[in-house]
Structure 1
Amino acid sequence: MLNDSVYRRARRAWACSPFRLPLLRAMSAQGIPLGKISGLSGVQVGYTQRPLPEMRADQELMWLIQVGLLRREVDGQGITDSYRLAPLGRQLLQDLEKGETHGGIPASWADHLQNLLTRWQLFL
């Protein structure tokens, strides 16, 4: 059973992230390398609206891992630079595709503030 507060926190983290729904869809099928998410390539495939430097993209993806939406992909050699959906991410994608919002989740200033405070608390 999914904890409602965990789901709300993860949903808010996604809404406040620089990423868009096509990234969730792609990650549901396969691991997506950081290089395809950051920079101009991320914009070209619709993963982001603006080019993200690789370091910022990695920081944002790591936050989505911490809230349970994503996981790092592992191969025979260990952890790779690719990301996939975790079960919570699959649930969020499923909910978004049911028609709640087609372009993503709108985030209010209060959502951004709460997301920032949550991130800050976890780093202390």
Structure 2
Amino acid sequence: MPVVKSQNSKILTYPPSSVKRAEKSLLCSPFKIKLFETMRRQSVALGAIASENGVKHGYTQKPLSELSCDNDLGWLIEVGILRREVDGQGITDGFRLTPLGHQLSEKYQGQNLPAPSWRDRLYNSVIRWLRLPL
């Protein structure tokens, strides 16, 4: 099992199937590695990712509607890569990486995310549509 050391010094282990699913979801997402590298340092608001802002900041290749962007970020939350930012009054519109997200963003740091294969896209679409646990 892959092991990740979290910020509070706990060692986290993930089942290989969870890491594989998360990585495929990351590669199939419409986001660029720059978004995840930024999230390693700070929270990123939905408004900075959606529409023309995402392209301007280098987070997406093409503009995404706010709804589409929120859905794609929500899927990355479900597979364990992201979490919503929380402040003293509740959930905000910001997103941060989880320890698994840090592990995957470090793996691709400084390089473009590889293009997913058609099998990866099909696999990701099916598990996303059916919400299959692995």
TM-score range relative to shorter protein: over 0.9
Equivalent residue pairs, number: 120
Inter-partner Cα distance in structure 1 for 2:54 and 2:115 = 20
Question: Which position in structure 2 is the counterpart of 1:84?
Answer: 96
SS at match of 1:105: coil
Matched, 1:120 2:129: yes
SS at match of 2:85: strand
Of 41, 50, 61, which aligns to 1:38?
Answer: 50
Q: TM-score, normalised by structure 1?
A: 0.93
Aligned to 2:84: 72
Structure 2 portions without partners, runs of 5+: 1-12
Cα distance in 2 between the residues matched to 1:120 and 1:43 = 27
The one-letter code of the counterpart of 1:38 is: A
Unaligned 5+ segments in structure 1 are: none
Report whether the alignment pairs 1:111 with 2:133.
no
Aligned mates of 2:107, 2:31 — CA distance in 1: 17
**Percent identical across equivalent pairs?**
47
Instruction: Report the Cα distance in structure 2 between the residues aligned to 1:39 and 1:121, rounded to whole angstroms.
Output: 27
1:11-47: CA deviation from partner (whole Å, max 9, x where unpaired):
0001100000000011111110000000001001110
For 2:52 and 2:97, locate their aligned partners in 1 and report how far apart those are by CA, in whole Å.
22
Deviation beyond 6 Å, 4+ runs, structure 1: none
Matching of residue 10 in structure 1 with residue 12 in structure 2: no
1:94 CA displacement? 1.3
